[in-house]
Structure 1
Amino acid sequence: MDWWKKNMSRAVVKKERLARGQRRGEMFLKELIQCCDGKTNPIKFFSADQILKATERYFCKCNILERSQNVCECSRISELVFQGKWYSGTLDSRRMIIVKKMLGRSPNPPRDICSGPPKDIAISSMVSGHKNFMKLVGCCLEFEYPVLVYYGKEKQYSPIDLKVVVSWRRRMKIAEEVATALAYLHNAFPRPFVYRNMGFKNILLDEDGVAKLIDLSYCVSIPKGETFVKLTWAGRDYDYMDDNYLFNKVVSEKTDAFGFGIFMQKLLTGEERFDELCGWKNWRGKNKVPKWLSKSMGEGRMDEIIDPNMLKKMDEVSEEERCLMEVFLNLSERCIGLRGEVPNMVQVAKELKRSRKTASSSSGETRI
């Protein structure tokens, strides 16, 4: 009798998973058609059993371990706990994969806010071949929270920690790679995609230090013939949001340029120093946010605004490095609209690449 009940329970669970996967599959196809203009992208749909087998069933067991020990002993990349939870596994006993379990998504979000997993999967499949995005294999829609499957290696990816990434040249490299990823979203497709989700939490570094932009669920496309789109809801990452986006809910390519400009300033100053310099702590969480005023960050006081973690590793800031930092800061202020016309992300990526080449050639290095 117990055996019969156990098998019936398994059958019910499997039936529910299949029904859930079918419903979400329909949502995904609609999103794919809208995002990709009907073009197909190679993507594999995994069953729940395949995911459990690939992760040696730890995918489900991890939650119990984490609650009791605050450490996921079975997951090899348990430090990646933001924007969902991440697990390593092996596909067909050969290829290493990374499984991302998406958490905290509303099942029925407003269409222009965040379409959640369907949009993330659809756009990830479009950008998967670019070096600054993760290589998507497929997805599984049968679990309560959908999962995305990427190619990878154990311990390959890590979040950006400015206490670890202390080299100025490494930070310049990260900035260039993130700018390149945003430029790709803006220009590689018939309609530009605006990322509007900038932040350290959405960038991973692989074992070679290459930056990867993740979580594409907040992307919105600009209609053909238009330069912006108006939404019904802006978001809550105030420090990365320009006034037009925050107050008027207007999204354009300049939305990403602004967010990237703030990201650049945080790379230069460190997040804590950035908060102090901009007075962010004084009005965080308030409904009315003042315009950004970062002109005082430069003006010959570079030693005062550099991230202390980075400064500790530099015996002294050379005149050449100081000039590169000034150029970096100037470009960030152009991105946030404080110095003339806001550049597009292609221009930003080119200027950052040029600065990195200058730094590399002057030091006699071929790679930073």
Structure 2
Amino acid sequence: MDLCLGKSKSSGKADKSTVKSMNNKVLLEKLIASSNGNYNPIRDFSFQELTTATNNYDRERIIIQESGYILYKGVLNARAVSILKFGENYNSDNQYKFCFNNIVFGSQISHKNILKLIGCCLETQIPILVFESIELGTLADRIYRRLFESVSSGILANYIHGPRPSHFKPFLLTNRLKIAMEIANALAYLHVGFPRPIVFKNIKLSSILFDEDHVAKLFDFSLAESIPDGETHIKDAIPIGIMGFVATEYVTTGDYNEKCDVFSFGVLLLVLLTGQKLYSIDEAGDRHWL
């Protein structure tokens, strides 16, 4: 396999070759703009390799299904991996941007609590990404595992993916505090470990995954940005994020910096320690989002 960041190989089909060349060009431009060409090497996988690795994207292999992407379990060369496929028919311009964000930031990052990017396939219109293996689902699975325990069969079971109850240990306070510390370390690394701070902008329960050793991994850099040189924040025309996790000042002004990530982490910590959904934490009045 070649590195994704080199010249593309000749493909059996002209359309794949053209798409791959265009994606290579875009990726190199974004990497140079973001990191001055300083990045970790990532592998180049073919579309056929990833199709085989996921058994033709078998729904039984789904780890997470969000509105714009699906994360699958896969096996490449006898190695367990996670394969991220964006939906090309779901606001494809945004999906293209989100995909390259994950490649650009993933190729710069090396931290035990951030899901490691292994490589990608540039032969498709929106590249398909390959990450290290995730074995124990998301934090949402871990906190709300009673959903699995209450569903034994029927239509609802088809919409619930990830590990079954037998994979879960009792969710003790020590486990919750360990997860909080691991994600706090990941965010601190993003904020202070680079010449320009990286703001994550996408903290939510499904952005925290677990490997086979129950280590928490921050995932999905679709919305992440580096704060420009000489600036203290990023200005968004339309604030975006997950309802309940977004800082009030960001919604009001559109200004985003590290403090907004810290606010979102605080909400995450509240949910993690109470085990309650956002709209049901305050039971004194009517249900509402924080």
Shift of 1:33: 1.4
Distance in 2, Cα, partners of 1:137 & 1:281: 46
Q: 1:206 aligns with which of 182, 201, 211?
A: 211
Change (3 A) 1:279 1:200: farther
Q: Deviations over 1:31-66 (max 9, x none)?
A: 2112212213211222212323444xx235x3xxxx
Which residue identity does 1:29 align to in structure 2? L
Change (3 A) 1:274 1:119: same
Q: TM-score, normalised by structure 1?
A: 0.62
Tell me the secondary structure at the aligned position of residue 98 of structure 1: strand
Contact 2:190–2:197 under 8 Å retained in 1: yes
Unaligned runs of 5+ in 2: 1-10, 146-169
Range with greater deviation from structure 2 (231-240 or 172-181): 231-240
**Paired residue for 2:51?**
52
Tell me the secondary structure at the aligned position of residue 117 of structure 1: helix
**Paired residue for 2:70?**
85
Contact 1:194–1:222 under 8 Å retained in 2: yes
Shift of 1:144: 4.4
After superposition, where does 1:204-243 map in structure 2 within 5 Å? Answer: 204-243=209-248
Which residue identity does 2:87 align to in structure 1? L
Q: 2:104 aligns with which of 97, 117, 122?
A: 122
Change (3 A) 1:102 1:212: same
Q: TM-score, normalised by structure 2?
A: 0.77
Contact 1:194–1:256 under 8 Å retained in 2: yes
Between Structure 1 and Structure 2, whose CA radius of gyration is higher?
1
Shift of 1:163: 3.7
1:98 maps to 2:82? yes
1:20 maps to 2:19? yes
Q: 1:139 aligns with which of 96, 112, 120?
A: 120
Distance in 2, Cα, partners of 1:235 & 1:193: 16
Shift of 1:173: 0.6
The two structures, once aligned, show a CA RMSD in angstroms of 2.7
**Paired residue for 2:164?**
none
Shift of 1:258: 0.4
Shift of 1:238: 2.7
Identity percentage of aligned residues: 32
Distance in 2, Cα, partners of 1:156 & 1:26: 34
Shift of 1:280: 9.5
1:244 maps to 2:245? no
**Paired residue for 1:262?**
267
Which residue identity does 1:89 align to in structure 2? G
Q: Deviations over 1:280-307 (max 9, x none)?
A: 97555xxxxxxx6xxxxxxxxxxxxxxx
Contact 1:195–1:218 under 8 Å retained in 2: yes
Shift of 1:100: 1.5
Q: 2:137 aligns with which of 146, 151, 158?
A: 158
Range with greater deviation from structure 2 (45-54 or 101-110): 101-110
Tell me the secondary structure at the aligned position of residue 13 of structure 2: helix
Distance in 2, Cα, partners of 1:50 & 1:99: 11
Unaligned runs of 5+ in 1: 1-11, 63-71, 285-291, 293-368
Distance in 1, Cα, partners of 2:71 & 2:262: 29
Distance in 2, Cα, partners of 1:46 & 1:157: 25
Report how many residues are paired: 252
Tell me the secondary structure at the aligned position of residue 84 of structure 2: strand
Greater share of helix residues, 1 or 2?
1
Contact 2:64–2:206 under 8 Å retained in 1: no
Change (3 A) 1:270 1:117: same
Change (3 A) 1:32 1:232: same
Distance in 1, Cα, partners of 2:52 & 2:194: 36
Contact 1:240–1:259 under 8 Å retained in 2: yes
Tell me the secondary structure at the aligned position of residue 217 of structure 1: coil
Which residue identity does 1:239 align to in structure 2? G
Tell me the secondary structure at the aligned position of residue 134 of structure 1: coil
After superposition, where does 1:23-34 map in structure 2 within 5 Å? Answer: 23-34=22-33
Distance in 1, Cα, partners of 2:270 & 2:285: 13
Distance in 1, Cα, partners of 2:287 & 2:73: 41
Q: 2:200 aligns with which of 187, 195, 204?
A: 195
Contact 1:265–1:274 under 8 Å retained in 2: no
Shift of 1:178: 0.5
